Amino acid sequence: MAGVVAGHRDVARALASSFEIIVCDDGSTDATWAALEASRAATSELRLMRNPSRAGIPFSMKRLYADARGEWIYFAPADGQVPAVALERMWSIRDGAALVVGRRIPRRDPASRVLIAQVYSAMLRWIFQLPVRDIDSVKLYRADELRSVPPRSESNFFEAEILINLCSRGRSVREIDIPHRPRIAGAAKGVTPADALIALRDVVAFAIGWLFHRGR
């Protein structure tokens, strides 16, 4: 965790005159919070948030997006699989864009997880005519554009919903290849059957509404 924070701090300091790094601890019961507090000594730009109990990815990310300040908002997971250099690559093509997506090439996850992600992305690209291949990867948003399309979905589909709405509004969305590392610690929590059902419900409900409005 400390290495991920330090890596992004160093890249951000080279790219911008002012920035903040916000990390949300999703109700951890191990030493994560203590490690984050210790990181403040070396990273004055670090701001910490903590959920009192495990709230999940959608809730935590929405909380981070709502609390972030500044013109651009970059999201990356704290597991270190996406190195900080990805921010530099995405930052370089941001001018004129509402959103920049990092395409993980090659993706260093188990084959089953990659296959599920590819099927999910292909389905959304086909239904919503999206220009992005790595739907749930790291993203660099222009803050005012992100806040112009607040998502209604309660599942992991919420970020795809933001992407679809930006594309539907004719906003510029770009994708650039970024490196991806194998996981070296911990285990991916993945999506539970209950999570998958909620996401499927959100996709179907959103698709019906989206197709109805397009047909009018």
What domains, with CATH codes, occur in the chain?
A: 2-215 (3.90.550.10)
**Identity at 6, one-letter amino acid code:** A
Residue 140, both tokens: 């660099």
Cα(99)–Cα(108) distance, integer angstroms: 24
The span from the CA of 126 to the CA of 114, in Å, is 18
Would you say residue 215 has pLDDT above 70?
no
In eight-state DSSP terms, residue 43 is -
Which residue type is seen at 113?
R
Handedness of CA 163, 110, 108, 126 (dihedral sign): negative
Q: What is the pLDDT of residue 186?
A: 55
| Whether the predicted model's global pTM rises above the 0.75 cut | yes
The percentage of residues in the chain with a pLDDT greater than 70, rounded to a whole number, is: 94
> pLDDT tens, 112-161?
889 988 998 999 999 999 999 999 999 999 999 999 999 989 899 999 99
Beta-carbon contacts of residue 107 (< 8 Å; ≥ 6 apart): 114, 117, 134, 180
Residue with tokens 């991920």, as numbered in its chain: 4
